[in-house]
Amino acid sequence: MKKETKKAEVEKIKEEVKEKRETFRETLKAEREARKTKVEEMRETFKEKRDDFKEKIETIKDEKKKQLTEKIDDRMLTVNKNQTARMTNALGKLTEHINKLEERVAQAKEKGIDVSTVETLIASAKTAISTALAAVETQAAKDYAFTITDEENLGQSVKASYDVLSQDLKNTQELLVKAKEAVVSAFKAAGALEKIIPTPTVVTP
């Protein structure tokens, strides 16, 4: 193969990697824009529930019970905010790993190595990341204000909201774990191609 031809092929592969990265970034951006309306509708619904909560909590006569309810409510909001922020950060790192993997796989492709299997796994990892990001973004918009009817049933309302929060976070976390597993699978397959691809330190969700 002529040197000029080889150089042209290498440049073509590099351009393909660049385009794939840009396409993935634009896809995530487009999906986020498409979800905006849904997320805003969710926020509006939760705002009404939050306003109702603020009104009802003022009717609680037992001051200690009132303060405890407000404290638990604040804690739940903080937990959801912190957990979804952590998940978003983890998915951002997984995206970086995939971007770097594509560059390294391109090195193998330049040498004429068949990387089709790895490319398929990379595509699957991107889909898993996209799915998890959608779930995390939706989760971040949720509010778990208690439904207050009377002081007697307040404890039950608090527990019900807490249980829903716990299950929602668990479901979202599972999607993050699946995204991580998909990324790890892609790296393992790439590692079998050639020793040019080191084993990554993937963020633990």
- The structural domains of the chain, with segments of one domain joined by +, span 3-191
Answer yes or no: is pLDDT of 201 > 60.
Answer: no
> Taking the CA atoms of the chain, what radius of gyration do you get in angstroms?
24
Q: Which letter, b or e, does each residue of 60-97 get, where b requires 16 or more Cβ atoms within 10 Å of its Cβ?
A: beeeeebeebeebbeebbeebeebbeebbebbeebbeb
Tokens representing residue 2 in the block: 């002529």
What mean pLDDT value characterizes the chain? 84
* Selected residue with higher pLDDT from 35 and 2: 35
Helical residues (DSSP H) of the chain, grouped into ranges? 3-57, 63-110, 116-140, 154-191
pLDDT score recorded for residue 44: 80
- Residue range 125-130: mean pLDDT, rounded: 95
**Of 140, 164, 146, 158, which is closest to residue 83 (Cα–Cα)?**
140
pLDDT for 104-120, tens place per residue?
888 888 788 888 899 99
pLDDT for 131-179, tens place per residue?
999 999 999 999 998 877 777 777 888 889 999 999 999 999 999 999 9
Q: Give the integer Cα–Cα distance in Å for 123 and 113.
A: 18
Tokens representing residue 120 in the block: 């398929």
**Of 141, 36, 163, 130, which is closest to residue 80 (Cα–Cα)?**
141
pLDDT for 8-65, tens place per residue?
666 676 677 777 777 877 877 777 777 777 778 878 888 888 888 888 888 888 888 8
* Selected residue with higher pLDDT from 47 and 80: 80
Contact of 57 with 69, CB cutoff 8 Å:
yes
Sequence-distant (≥ 6) Cβ neighbours of residue 80 within 8 angstroms: 139, 140, 142, 144, 165, 169
